Chain A
């Protein structure tokens, strides 16, 4: 089955840029979606279809996807961005929705 690999944790100082990766076999050929989950809350989509941003999500959040890696980039990181982030794809070959293991973003 299709596997998405994320680093367990990423740390960044306030005001700097955080990059969270999501690796998968030829993931560049798939649509990747990113969710943010804060403690005790349900997930919220922050990027869909690789690089689109829902209304209400700051422009500081952006996404890219090429080759074997998709990346969620958070610019000018704020304390409120501290959360778990999950990537997700639909594997059309197996009809399975797949989530990455998640990355805990810590704002130093």
Chain B
């Protein structure tokens, strides 16, 4: 059974940093890209970042480029999202999701339950 478990969310002040983790199980970790998607309160889905199965390719939304970094630890089957210079508009539920392919460009077939990030003073 495929499982994605996010952690690391919480309350952080504007300008602060936070690292989200997504522990994956139930599939061969290196064969599939992993993606972070966020959803602000009462809003729609916003793609944040994707890392390829090999880890050799990364993609970012313009809204987070230069502030967020996606990475992975194959030994722990875990993908991370390092978030720096956080702003109030980064407040959202952050979902980790599995792509159906090795690289981006397809759809997301499994999602975690999300972790809440709140940026506020």
B-binding residues in A (CB < 8 A): 1, 31, 33, 35, 37, 42-45, 48-49, 54, 84, 86, 88, 90, 92, 95-102
Given contacts A42-B112, A96-B59, A97-B59, contact A33 B107 (CB under 8 A): yes
Please give the residue numbers on chain B whose beta carbons come within 8 Å of chain A beta carbons, in ascending order: 35, 37, 44-47, 50, 59, 61-62, 95, 100, 104-109, 111-114
**Is the contact region of chain A dominated by helix, strand, or loop, or is it mixed?**
strand
Shortest Cβ distance from residue B108 to the other chain A in the assembled complex, whole angstroms: 7
Inter-chain contact A88/B107, CB cutoff 8 Å: yes
Across the interface, B45 reaches (CB within 8 A) one of A31, A43, A45, namely: A43
A-B contact pairs, 8 of them (CB 8 A): A1-B62, A42-B114, A43-B37, A48-B106, A49-B107, A92-B105, A95-B104, A97-B59
Judge whether B45 and A90 touch: CB under 8 Å. Answer: no
In the complex, residue of chain A having the shortest beta-carbon distance to the beta carbon of B108: A45
In the complex, what residues of A have CB within 8 A of residue B61's CB?
96
Chain B residues closer than 8 Å to A54, beta-carbon distance: 109
